[in-house]
Every structure is written in C-alpha cells, then in structure tokens.
Amino acid sequence: MPITRRDALLTMLSAPLSARAAWAAESQGPPETELIVCGWDEVFILAIGDGPTPAFRKAWSWHASDSPEIPADMHALFRTTDDCKPVDGGRKILISSSGGAVALVDRQTRRASFFARVTNAHSIEMLPGGRIAAAASVSTAGTGNRLTIFDAATARELGSDELRSAHGALWDNDRRVLWALGGDVLRAYTVRSARGSVGLERTFEIPLPDEGGHDLVAIPGSARLFVSTERRCFSFDRERRQFTPHDGLGDRPNIKSYNVHPRTGRIVYVQAEGTNWWAEHLHLQHPDGTLRLPGEHLYKARWV
C-alpha cells in the first residue's frame, strides 16, 4: 500500500530529533553556493549546486534603475558592469562599471547607499573607516588612469594617485595596505588621513611580468595574490614579494576574473571568448566543470 503524505508526516514527527533533522536536510536537496556575476547592465547572483555540471538558478538580480537613489541620467553608466564584490557578510555588493560609475548596493532592498561617477571604472574595494577605493582605467578625458578614494557616506572624493590603466584594488587587512594593479605595475599603498583628506603613500612597487594587468584577488588562507594579465596568470607572494607562474592557469590568456571559495576551495574563472571581451561560460575547478549562460556577457564572478 502506498504511503500517504499524512503517514509520512506522522512518521517524521514520531522520529528522534536527530533523525528529523537529517530527514529535513535530505528533503531540501544538495547544498548550494552563491556566485555574484556581472558584465552587462545586470548584476545577478546564481545559486549553484554541487558536482562538475551543477544545477543553477538566478537568485537575485540588479539593474541601476532598481536603485531610486541613482539618477536616471546615470543609469546608462552601469551598462557594462565589470566588478561585483560582496561585503558586510554578503548583505551588500560593491559594483563598478567601465561605463563610468561605481555603487554600493544593499542586497535586500536594492538601494544604493553610495554611488559616484568614475571614468572607466574597473574595480572597487571597501576600506576601513567608511571609505571606498575605485580604480579608473584608461581614458583620454583626463580623469582616468588613477586610483581614487571616496567617503562612503558622502561620495566625496578624498584623494587619488596616478595609476596607468588601473584595473584592480584590494584591501589587505593583515598588512594594513591597499594593493592596486595597473597596466604594468603592482603597488602597495598606505592610506593616511589628514584634515579631511586621504593621502596614498606608495610603500611598494613591482613591475608586472607581462603587460596588461587585469584581475587582482587574494587566495584565501595564504599570502598569495592572483594576478592576471593579457596573456598569462601569476601568483604573487606578499611575504617574499615575488611573482611565479600560476600553477593552474599560468599560460591562459584573457582571464577576466578568478575566485576561490573560502570554505569549499572551489574555483571559478571567466576567460574571454573569441575576439570578445566577454564570455558565455563560467569555468569551475575542484571539481572541474562548465556552466553555459547563452546570451550573457560575463566578465567577473565572485563567490559570496
């Protein structure tokens, strides 16, 4: 005789608490991890399952028009988003766009507590003390090729430093420095405050082994940074202050983003396809796999 839904419920309620918890976990399916993805005018979050070809679903989405604080004449500046970093435990998302703007968006409300115009913005990073760093890449307007610090509460510019083809910004809390990636150099800055402004003091600089610095991220649980260029990928040891070819993607060109999940160790990366600056695939490692999102323009992917 087939078991009814009522009988199943009664069986579960009569079972010990530990068995009930196991039954509930099994009924919810395999665990999911979340991935923030950007590249076009939409920033979205994918909930991804386990395995080499995991199931995935879109769990969240944002367009500039979803934030009423952002003026309508700035919406088009977010048409080519190029970085998307979770902060505050994933409750907020930092967004940059090469169209010319940056923002800090609340995941639940989609409201922007911070937004600013930044020429050809290619990365954004939260700093201590309620400040935000933004990397402005190549421009003929005279406002690009620099690293800029903003007050997150007022969006007032506090200071900047010249950095050709600025593409990456990463706060290093252990060393209390801001790492910044340019077209041909990796730098470390000490951020100093004085009379309402911020000074960026260059404390370390090393030429890149290859031209065209692109992505800059920390490898969880290590002293290494991941650095991609136009043609290759590298690890940079922050203690030894030296570059070595990356052990997994050393010879891969046009890697637009790379990220390691801090808990599972799973890797996601985006590699430009054909002559495009974007891709329709997310590549996974540990275990290896590929997700195809037809019609999307994928550029950066960051684990939540």
What is the number of structural domains in the chain? 1
Block residue for tokens 């010319």: 100
| Structural domain contains residue 129 | yes
Domain that holds residue 283: 30-303
Structural contact between residues 292 and 281, judged by C-beta atoms closer than 8 angstroms? yes
Q: Is residue 176 part of a domain?
A: yes
Whether 238 is in a domain gets the answer yes
- Assess if residue 8 is contained within a domain: no
Q: Is residue 14 part of a domain?
A: no
SS3 content of the chain, % helix, strand, coil (to 5): 10, 45, 40
Greatest extent of the chain over all pairs of C-alpha atoms, in Å = 80
Task: Give the integer Cα–Cα distance in Å for 126 and 88.
Answer: 10
CATH code, domain carrying 100: 2.130.10.10
Q: Are strands 300-303 and 33-38 parallel, antiparallel or unpaired?
A: antiparallel
Asked if the structure places residue 69 within a domain, the reply is yes
Q: Is position 19 within any domain?
A: no
Tens of pLDDT along the chain (304 residues) come to 444 544 544 444 444 444 444 444 444 555 789 999 999 999 999 999 988 888 999 999 999 999 999 999 999 999 999 999 999 999 999 999 999 999 999 999 999 999 999 999 999 999 999 999 999 999 988 899 999 999 999 999 999 999 999 999 999 999 999 999 999 999 999 999 887 889 999 999 999 999 999 999 999 999 999 999 999 999 999 999 999 999 999 999 999 999 999 999 999 999 999 999 999 999 999 999 999 999 999 999 999 9
> Which residue is listed with tokens 């695939």?
281
